[in-house]
């Protein structure tokens, strides 16, 4: 196998909410008299994120949902988070808690292993490095705001392409930017449906990042941190 390009998902792979979303949830949920554990919230988010990935894979993705339809989605999303934390809530209560979550200020930050690994890939391997994200922003804006410009050759977002992962167009756009064939690229992401099945669907080699050890699927290469990408490239770029 000769790898000429490495693609990364953004949220959950290179970046995360700051403060962490489990802390935001704890603050919101506590105001309703509940005391969730961090592990419970992590497991709840795993279920909720899988639900979001299913929606984005459908003919009615989040980018096309507005108003009450969007609110109804996030009520169910929050209910799944709460369920993971062993909190039984109906959709009305879940919606109120989600609204409280939205009132808490947050930003985006990079994982500690993000830029060191990207820098080492750049130094050690002659590969194109790109980012693929289901985010409603331009790639240039996202890359600059996160300080990733020195580390990436390009960023492709669903806003620019008009298509979400796991659908082929966003992956095909990344391949075109990198100028490589599908079997010459790997894609690293934290969603089995959006990242693994999406990449696999166009012939890209998928790598599943499971930072918290909560993803059950195991029919692909799975890693627990970005440093393991360096080990994979050392083997695959010989």
Instruction: Give me the domain span that covers residue 224.
Output: 5-16+108-236
Closest CA to 16 of 120, 149, 114: 114
Pick from 105, 132, 158: which residue ends a domain? Answer: 105
Q: Are residues 58 and 155 in the same domain?
A: no
Q: Are residues 91 and 49 in the same domain?
A: yes
Q: Are residues 225 and 188 in the same domain?
A: yes
Domain count, the chain: 2
Low-confidence ranges of the chain (pLDDT < 50): none
Q: Are residues 56 and 95 in the same domain?
A: yes
Task: Give yes or no for a contact between 235 and 31, defined as CB atoms under 8 angstroms apart.
Answer: no
Pick from 105, 132, 165: which residue ends a domain? Answer: 105
Q: Are residues 121 and 100 in the same domain?
A: no
Q: Are residues 138 and 36 in the same domain?
A: no
When the pLDDT of each residue in the chain is averaged and rounded to a whole number, the result is: 96
Q: Are residues 203 and 139 in the same domain?
A: yes
Q: Are residues 130 and 187 in the same domain?
A: yes
Q: Are residues 119 and 225 in the same domain?
A: yes
Q: Are residues 126 and 231 in the same domain?
A: yes
The CATH number that applies at residue 157 is 3.40.50.1000
Pick from 46, 70, 105: which residue ends a domain? Answer: 105
pLDDT tens string 39-70: 999 999 999 999 999 999 999 999 899 999 99
| Cα–Cα distance, 114 to 101 (Å, whole number) | 27
For 211, residues 6+ apart whose C-beta sits below 8 A from its C-beta are 12, 111, 190, 224, 225
Q: Are residues 143 and 70 in the same domain?
A: no
Residue-level pLDDT at 238: 67
CA Rg value for the chain = 18
The CATH number that applies at residue 67 is 1.10.150
Alpha helices (runs of H) in 62-209, residue ranges in sequence order: 67-84, 91-102, 114-124, 139-145, 158-161, 168-178, 198-201
């Amino acid at each position: 196998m000769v790898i000429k390009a490495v693609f990364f998902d953004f949220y959950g792979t290179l970046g995360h909410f700051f403060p962490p979303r489990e802390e935001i949830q704890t603050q919101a949920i506590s105001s309703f008299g509940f005391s969730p554990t961090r592990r419970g919230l992590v497991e709840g988010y795993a279920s909720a994120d899988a639900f979001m990935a299913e929606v984005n894979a459908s003919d009615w993705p989040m980018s096309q949902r507005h108003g009450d339809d969007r609110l109804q989605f996030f009520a169910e999303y929050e209910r799944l988070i709460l369920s993971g934390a062993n909190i039984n809530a109906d959709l009305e209560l879940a919606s109120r808690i989600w609204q409280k979550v939205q009132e808490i200020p947050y930003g985006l930050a990079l994982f500690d292993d993000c830029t060191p690994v990207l820098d080492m890939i750049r130094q050690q391997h002659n590969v194109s490095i790109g980012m693929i994200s289901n985010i409603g922003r331009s790639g240039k804006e996202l890359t600059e705001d996160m300080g990733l410009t020195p580390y990436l050759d390009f960023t492709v977002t669903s806003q620019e392409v008009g298509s979400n992962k796991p659908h082929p167009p966003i992956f095909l756009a990344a391949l075109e930017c990198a100028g490589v064939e599908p079997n010459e690229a790997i894609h690293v992401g934290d969603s089995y449906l959006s990242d693994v099945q999406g990449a696999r669907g166009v012939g890209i080699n998928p790598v599943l990042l499971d930072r918290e050890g909560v993803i059950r699927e195991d029919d692909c290469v799975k890693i627990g941190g970005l440093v393991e990408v360096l080990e994979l490239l050392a083997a695959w770029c010989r």
